[in-house]
Structure 1
Amino acid sequence: MDNTAQDSAILHAILEAAVDGMIISDNRGRIIRANAAACRLFQYDCEDIISESVNRLMPRAMAARHDGFMAHYMETGEKRIIGTGREVEGQRKDGSVFHLHLSVNEARINGTRMFVAILHDLTQRRATQLTLARSQRLDAIGQMTGGIAHDFNNLLTVIIGNLELLEMRGASERQLSLIRDALASAELGADLTERLMVFARKSNLKPIKTDLRELCEDTLAILKRTLGSTYLIKTDFAAEVDQVMIDPSQLQSALMNLALNARDAMGGRGEFLVSIANVTIDDSYMAQETDIQPGHYVRLSVSDDGAGMSTEAQQRAFEPFFTTKTESGGTGLGLAMVYGFVRQSGGHITLYSELGHGTSFGLYFPAVTGSDDGAERVPPQTIAHPGVPQGRGETVLIVEDNPKVRRLSVERIRDLGFKTEDASNGDAAYRMLQSGVHADILFSDLVMPGDLNGYDLAAKVAAEFPHMRVLLTSGYASDVVTGSMARDQTYDILHKPYRQSDLAVRLQALLTDDADD
């Protein structure tokens, strides 16, 4: 092998081995070479972008300016990105915009200028930063709130004490009326600061080893009388559930808060589901979805089929004094108290909601072992898990409207040995299938914008593409939220968040059923 051939072989090996995207373009911005990582990053087949302008991979605003930047550099040699790196935006084939780190350098081959770009996807890092920023913001608010509540308690102690002394020292009837009104208001203030202390994780918890099922049954018995007959309460408690170390009264208060929020979201009637099960978070995918350390947990899920929450409301749901119920006198402290209690108990809380379809909260409490009340929590740990079933290159069509979840699903399913196609909603997926896109399995979310939800899409697939198998997924705890969508045929639901091994087993089961037909 001569040196030229050897260099070419080495270059090809470097390009294909690189985890980051690498694109080589000429001095006109035309793509000469792109490695497999770059094509996956932008969701193109490599042959589709060769000889195309790099502008195709940029949002419209940046693409319009890129040629001017290149012309300026070619004329003046003034560097803006060449030889350095910066954070920019890229645009995938489906039109979604994402953040990436771009570094570019120039090479001359036989007098011809070429540019080599290395692209690193920042999507996950930015998502992690946003999650961390949100957690830090809540922590900062909690610290500030705890300090303010502590100082206000001292002030209220003085105010209440002096009012009581005035009351006991022979005040007139007119004065007594004023004193009692002031005392009632001061006591309301004391109750408010107590709730703020719960959010700040500085309340006086009295945890004992508890079976959540028994505690929830007692609380739900009260709730049935409180909510009234127009609200149907359903339960789904696993037969075997680990115990947890929590304060029973605070758990009851948290469940009451979630139930009353659900009632307000459902209007005059609706369904409310409480489910309890052991959960083992033992792979990086599930930990990534829930922002929870690996380990053994008991999950208490609370779901309703109400109005759902906007994206802004979800982002601010646990902040104190944030409320969407200003007209009904909501204080905005209910969810803040639930958040503080769960975190002070060593647990985590997740929120999943879709406008018009309902909301589901997941409360994760560390499982405990041992027989005494001082039992140690099972420490978070990564649990070795056996090899999961692998695909053999079959194609899975992933349908998910949340871009972050869709990208994660693509990554998970490719790691299991499958090829993937993806769409942002049921309507787009149906058009893809009609245009001739082949898929062996449909893996679709249930709740999506557009005319076709998950059940509708599954029904069309069953009627028009009978060779395809269907697996549906949902962020809700059960079909209490999505039961109104169901058609004549029922489907098994893979509930989010799920483990990689669960996904692998479900996909393989579909293929096994197909082979048996």
Structure 2
Amino acid sequence: MNDFGLYLAGALGGSGQRDNTVNQANKDELTQTDAVLKAIMDAAVDAVVVSDRVGKILSVNPAAIKMFQHTANEMQGHNVRILMPDALAHLHDGFMSDHMTTGEKRIIGLGREVEGKRKDGTVFPLHLSVGRTGHDCNEIFIGIMHDLTQRKSTEAALSRSQRLDAIGQMTGGIAHDFNNILTIVTGNLELLEMRNKDDRQTAMIRDALEAAELGADLTHRLLMFARRTTLHPVKSDLSEICLEALHLLERTLGATYRISTDFAADADPVMIDPTQLQSALMNLALNARDAMPNGGELIVSVANVTIDDDYIAQETDIKSGHYVRLSVIDNGIGMPPEAQSRAFEPFFTSKSDGNGTGLGLAMVYGFVRQSGGHVTLYSEPGHGTSFGLYFPSAHAAAAIETAPKPDTPIAPWHGNGERILVVEDNAVVRKISIERIRDLGFATEEASSGDEAYQMLKDGVAVDLVFSDLVMPGALNGYDLAARIRTEFPKLKVLLTSGYASDAVTGSMPGATPQEILHKPYRQADLIERLHALLGPSSGA
């Protein structure tokens, strides 16, 4: 029988059971009890620590040895304070004394979250429940502890993902509305520019147009974070794309920064937009440079990774499967925990005023998530930062078809009285759209919804093209209207426009089919290009 078995037997049955006159039957019973207790201790997946009334450890189970990284001999006979952070250890004796004197229950039979300390000094969260048994001087305390590290990590990752999704929805809506405003501003300025003959006013109009373009660029970056931008994914080799970007970075970073690469020869291809991937890598590299003000090393690696259930338990919001991971690691100053928790939020920056927009990492996050991937961030202050970009292997990902873009600009072109039905629920946007189309030599009709436009067509309104917004109230959105036109009015041309990206909106509209979209805010030249393709001499109209 071990010491704990004897001690427990004495605590439960009184000191008489340890008397020299204990008969053989009692000895056999204690031996059997001790074996059962040992089996329970060994089988428990949570840590079990048994101590006396002054906190001396009497026995520990294998789970406790694994949790605290001490051997059994390093724990038994020592005070339980060795398993606590210093701040809690200093208070332990006072807690025990108060409990023994007053009987007040703070943990006994209740359980609560506290912190533990491993042999190497690391502190971790755990749930502790304590039971007490025995009497007089033979009281023993049994602590059962569950490591909460993994659960806390999962909760934090889930909370961060939910917060970013909520911010993304709000940001996408704001950017969409702002695109409508910019469409009005840009359209009016271009009309004024075409009609104005005063050089001084023309210069002012062009300055205003440039400012509107900056606004459009801002909304584009916001929509990228919100995963509502247009991507043009192709089957790509991550290593090759990274090498192209790194050639540029070597000149940009300077001689005090060393770039190391580790590209696996067997890395799978992925379906990504190469331009956006290079932009994401540039963003991460420039952030790394800022985190290494006196120079340092940037490590870029590409490798296949299989996401399994064990990984999902730590990193939520990512599906199991085969991925290709792009890692970008620096040995800079690192990021504090509060900065890590908000790193991907738009407009959040830890840089000094004027040295960062707070949109770089937000764009990286949006691009990777829209590509079907996942982003991880790990950083230790003073030791550096590591970003992991996970893209689904092209062997498992479905190819995404995209419409080709024209290689060369078309010559200026105007209509010849063709009639266009403008469908837009925003009255101000509808008004400026009509003005822009009329200025190109077309006649117009207008409707405030897909339902109204469809009814007008059924009533016999004769038009050559329907120019419709994508997201509208009512039964028919832009995709639905286009589908009915293809079926019932097959000779009628359709051009769709939206402040969102086509691939983002398609996913939220049942039955929608991807097609070319004129994205707001658009320039007059973009409108001319699309109308020319649909109604010009070579269109077959």
TM range (shorter): 0.5 to 0.7
1:26 to 1:232, Cα distance in 2 relative to 1, 3 A: closer
SS for the counterpart of 1:350 is: strand
1:237 to 1:127, Cα distance in 2 relative to 1, 3 A: closer
CA distance in 1, matches of 2:383, 2:52: 50
CA distance in 1, matches of 2:384, 2:49: 44
SS for the counterpart of 2:134 is: strand
1:192 to 1:82, Cα distance in 2 relative to 1, 3 A: same
Letter in 1 for 2:303: A
**Match of 1:295?**
321
1:22 to 1:354, Cα distance in 2 relative to 1, 3 A: closer
Letter in 2 for 1:48: E
**Larger displacement relative to structure 2 (344-353 or 79-88):** 344-353
SS for the counterpart of 2:144 is: strand
User: 1:267 offset after TM fit, Å?
Assistant: 5.6
CA distance in 1, matches of 2:166, 2:99: 46
| Map 1:313-462 → 2, pairs under 5 A | 313-326=339-352, 329-352=355-378, 359-369=385-395, 373=399
The answer to whether residue 209 in structure 2 is matched with residue 188 in structure 1 is no
User: 1:11 offset after TM fit, Å?
Assistant: 0.9
The answer to whether residue 70 in structure 2 is matched with residue 40 in structure 1 is no
The answer to whether residue 226 in structure 2 is matched with residue 200 in structure 1 is yes
**Match of 1:13?**
39
The answer to whether residue 182 in structure 2 is matched with residue 156 in structure 1 is yes
CA distance in 2, matches of 1:70, 1:357: 40
CA offsets per residue over residues 457-493 of structure 1, 9 Å max, x none? xxxxxxxxxxxxxxxxxxxxxxxxxxxxxxxxxxxxx
SS for the counterpart of 1:257 is: helix
CA distance in 2, matches of 1:129, 1:94: 25
CA distance in 2, matches of 1:37, 1:91: 15
Give yes or no for contact 1:320–1:336 (8 Å, CA) kept in 2: yes
User: 1:53 offset after TM fit, Å?
Assistant: 3.1
User: 1:194 offset after TM fit, Å?
Assistant: 0.4
CA distance in 2, matches of 1:85, 1:230: 54
**Match of 2:21?**
none
1:319 to 1:65, Cα distance in 2 relative to 1, 3 A: same
The answer to whether residue 171 in structure 2 is matched with residue 167 in structure 1 is no
The answer to whether residue 142 in structure 2 is matched with residue 116 in structure 1 is yes
User: 1:17 offset after TM fit, Å?
Assistant: 1.8
**Match of 1:98?**
124
1:207 to 1:174, Cα distance in 2 relative to 1, 3 A: same
Give yes or no for contact 2:158–2:316 (8 Å, CA) kept in 1: no
**Match of 1:385?**
none
The answer to whether residue 166 in structure 2 is matched with residue 140 in structure 1 is yes
CA offsets per residue over residues 432-468 of structure 1, 9 Å max, x none? xxxxxxxxxxxxxxxxxxxxxxxxxxxxxxxxxxxxx
1:165 to 1:14, Cα distance in 2 relative to 1, 3 A: same
Give yes or no for contact 1:290–1:350 (8 Å, CA) kept in 2: no
Letter in 1 for 2:83: L
**Match of 1:28?**
54
Match of 1:84 among 110, 113, 126: 110
1:132 to 1:373, Cα distance in 2 relative to 1, 3 A: closer
CA distance in 2, matches of 1:57, 1:332: 42
1:35 to 1:303, Cα distance in 2 relative to 1, 3 A: closer
Match of 2:80 among 46, 54, 58: 54
Letter in 2 for 1:147: G
User: 1:176 offset after TM fit, Å?
Assistant: 4.0
User: 1:87 offset after TM fit, Å?
Assistant: 0.9
CA offsets per residue over residues 39-98 of structure 1, 9 Å max, x none? 332332323333433333333333333333333333433322212111112233333322
User: 1:341 offset after TM fit, Å?
Assistant: 0.7
Letter in 2 for 1:3: E
User: 1:99 offset after TM fit, Å?
Assistant: 1.4
User: 1:251 offset after TM fit, Å?
Assistant: 1.8
Give yes or no for contact 1:287–1:294 (8 Å, CA) kept in 2: no
Give yes or no for contact 1:265–1:308 (8 Å, CA) kept in 2: yes
User: 1:270 offset after TM fit, Å?
Assistant: 6.5
CA distance in 2, matches of 1:264, 1:111: 63
1:9 to 1:343, Cα distance in 2 relative to 1, 3 A: same
TM-score, reference length from structure 1:
0.63
SS for the counterpart of 1:83 is: coil
User: 1:327 offset after TM fit, Å?
Assistant: 5.7
Structure 2 spans left out of the alignment, 5+ residues: 1-24, 402-541
Give yes or no for contact 1:219–1:252 (8 Å, CA) kept in 2: yes
TM-score, reference length from structure 2:
0.60
Give yes or no for contact 1:211–1:242 (8 Å, CA) kept in 2: yes
**Match of 1:388?**
none
User: 1:192 offset after TM fit, Å?
Assistant: 0.5
The higher radius of gyration belongs to: 2
CA offsets per residue over residues 256-309 of structure 1, 9 Å max, x none? 333444455556976655443333345736984898554222223344566655
Give yes or no for contact 2:256–2:294 (8 Å, CA) kept in 1: yes
Letter in 1 for 2:127: H
CA offsets per residue over residues 375-414 of structure 1, 9 Å max, x none? 9xxxxxxxxxxxxxxxxxxxxxxxxxxxxxxxxxxxxxxx
The answer to whether residue 279 in structure 2 is matched with residue 253 in structure 1 is yes
User: 1:200 offset after TM fit, Å?
Assistant: 1.1
**Larger displacement relative to structure 2 (239-248 or 228-237):** 228-237
Letter in 2 for 1:202: R
1:147 to 1:41, Cα distance in 2 relative to 1, 3 A: same
CA offsets per residue over residues 232-255 of structure 1, 9 Å max, x none? 666544433322111222223223
CA distance in 2, matches of 1:352, 1:372: 30
Tell me: higher relative CO, structure 1 or 2? Use CA pairs within 8 A at least 6 residues apart: 2
> Could you say what the CA RMSD is over the residues aligned between the two structures, in angstroms?
3.5
User: 1:198 offset after TM fit, Å?
Assistant: 0.6
The answer to whether residue 306 in structure 2 is matched with residue 280 in structure 1 is yes
Give yes or no for contact 2:154–2:315 (8 Å, CA) kept in 1: no
**Larger displacement relative to structure 2 (313-322 or 123-132):** 313-322
**Match of 1:209?**
235
1:299 to 1:32, Cα distance in 2 relative to 1, 3 A: closer
CA distance in 2, matches of 1:33, 1:197: 59
Structure 1 spans left out of the alignment, 5+ residues: 376-517
